[in-house]
Structure 1
Amino acid sequence: MITAMKEPDFGQILDSFYWNLPDGMPGVWVGRLKGATNMDRCYGPEFFKRVFQESADKSVKHFLCGGKEGVADELRQAVASKFANHNVVGTYCPPFRALSDDEFKALGNQINQSGADIVWIGLSTPKQERFAQQLKKYTSVHFIVTVGAAFDFHTDKVQQAPAWMQQLSLEWFFRLLMEPKRLYKRYLEIVPLFIYYNLKDFISDNHPKVVQNS
């Protein structure tokens, strides 16, 4: 959300998506304050888990795209053992650099030939959303879903925050404690800006409206 405020082109990418689901509780709280009283969290790793569980005995085929080298293959094994889902038809771990159009086209062809129905992308934000935006030009799948750290969580490479911390919107703090060197700069910027932008937006929405009839 903060990146979308700072980078309008990224905001346009989010606006072009079919769904934008609230992965964290802070977004849910803001949505409820703005009138979406039935809004609830759709936690990426849990959403990933539920879809794989529910589709285990169905003909839905999955393609895993993301993570460091080898992580997607480990995840294929994890979903087979944890969720009894053996319908992963392909994996791909993108390099840290940006892919060229030819590389996206080759990946799209690989996905199309695999017969996948859903492509799961597990990269950091905003990289994964930009990646999905490019990839959709070259694929004919039904859904491309970005799920962030779900790949690392379900391969047990990263520990998830306890449920009570997630409910209190303290997952960011737990992750900061686990990876302080990597995350402290991000959260030092994001947390204050999230509060600032939403207070500013809330005040603007509740400002008296002037109607002129002339």
Structure 2
Amino acid sequence: MNKNDTVNILGIPLYRYSISTFIKNIDNKSKENKCISATGAHGLVTSVRDNRFREILLSFNTNLPDGMPGVWVGRLKGAKEMKRCYGPDFFEETMRASANSNLTHYLCGGNEGVADSLKEVCENKFGANIVGTFCPPFLQVKDYDYEEIAEQINQSNADIVWIGLSSPKQEAFASNLSKFTSVSYICCVGAAFDFHIGNVKQAPNWIQKIGMEWFFRLLMEPKRLWKRYIEIVPLFIYYNFAELIKGNFFKD
């Protein structure tokens, strides 16, 4: 990704335009294993606290601004045209845009049966060409047999692999998988799988636009998410404010 197409937020370059603008540049002409992550406040804060995760995000071709807080900070830093590139929307728009092309997709993630259910949605609702699915067993990131998973993907002749796991696991998974696959893109989209098959309810658009989706999701899944958000929201504000005080806020 060209540096001019990004804005630095907590040390991570985030894409400064819209989903539609980004999708226009997607093609399957080369097998480069370009890793893409839809990265919100959770990922940005984790990158400050975890150097290994930070290195992974910095190695990715593109980090899309998944949440409104990142977009607001980006606009404050001068990226006035920056728009939210929400993971589920990026997934859907790419699927729809590829309906009349030769782009092929592989779905990797979710609990048992989720990827297969999503395959039906993508084919029947979006008109996309899904050439394979895989539900990773619940293991530590280091314990997966990436060569075996990559062999299945390579045999499917997929152009884009979609990873639907939680962050930061999905980014580490994608990074490891990219060492063995021959695809064009590996895209991390978090809960997009569950959203699109109806397993998890999405926040209404107006709640998303005011940056309160985290609170809506907390109400939907309090046991799983309370600890994450009680830390992430204050830390995101604190880290950006600290950059402002130190005079680093507007530095690339």
Q: Deviations over 1:97-139 (max 9, x none)?
A: 1255771001111111100000000110000000000000000
Cross-structure match for 2:84: 41
Q: Deviations over 1:146-199 (max 9, x none)?
A: 001100000110010000000000000000010111111111111111110010
TM-score (normalised: structure 2): 0.79
Cross-structure match for 1:210: none
Cα 1:184/1:99, change in 2 over 3 Å:
closer
Using CA pairs under 8 Å that are at least 6 residues apart, name the structure with larger relative contact order, 1 or 2. 2
Task: For residue 9 of structure 1, report the CA deviation from its aligned partner.
Answer: 1.0
Cross-structure match for 2:126: 83
- Out of 39, 42, 60, the residue aligned to residue 17 of structure 1 is 60
- The structure with the greater share of residues assigned to strand is 2
Q: Secondary structure at the match of 2:62?
A: coil
Q: Secondary structure at the match of 1:65?
A: strand
Q: Quick one: which amino acid aligns to residue 191 of structure 1? A: V
Q: Secondary structure at the match of 1:5?
A: helix
CA distance, structure 2, for counterparts of residue 22 and residue 153 of structure 1: 18
Q: Quick one: which amino acid aligns to residue 185 of structure 1? A: K
Give identity over the alignment, percent: 60
Task: For residue 36 of structure 1, report the CA deviation from its aligned partner.
Answer: 1.8
After TM superposition, which residue ranges in structure 1, 4 or more long, deviate above 4 angstroms?
Answer: 99-102
Q: Secondary structure at the match of 2:63?
A: coil
Cα 1:196/1:114, change in 2 over 3 Å:
same
Higher mean displacement: 73-82 or 116-125 = 73-82
Question: Structure 1: which 5+ runs fail to align?
Answer: 208-214
Q: Secondary structure at the match of 2:66?
A: coil
Cross-structure match for 1:135: 177
CA distance, structure 2, for counterparts of residue 206 and residue 125 of structure 1: 26
Equivalence map 1:22-33=2 (5 Å): 22-33=65-76
Q: Quick one: which amino acid aligns to residue 205 of structure 1? A: G
CA distance, structure 1, for counterparts of residue 192 and residue 57 of structure 2: 20
CA distance, structure 1, for counterparts of residue 85 and residue 168 of structure 2: 18
Question: Structure 2: which 5+ runs fail to align?
Answer: 1-43
Length, aligned pairs only? 206
Cross-structure match for 2:191: 149
CA distance, structure 1, for counterparts of residue 220 and residue 78 of structure 2: 35
- Out of 142, 147, 152, the residue aligned to residue 105 of structure 1 is 147
Cα 1:151/1:145, change in 2 over 3 Å:
same
* 2:51 equivalent to 1:8: yes
Which of these two proteins has the greater Rg computed from alpha carbons?
1
CA distance, structure 1, for counterparts of residue 114 and residue 70 of structure 2: 29
Q: CA RMSD in A?
A: 1.4
Cross-structure match for 1:212: none
Q: Quick one: which amino acid aligns to residue 4 of structure 1? A: S
TM-score (normalised: structure 1): 0.93
- Out of 82, 96, 99, the residue aligned to residue 56 of structure 1 is 99
Task: For residue 206 of structure 1, report the CA deviation from its aligned partner.
Answer: 6.3
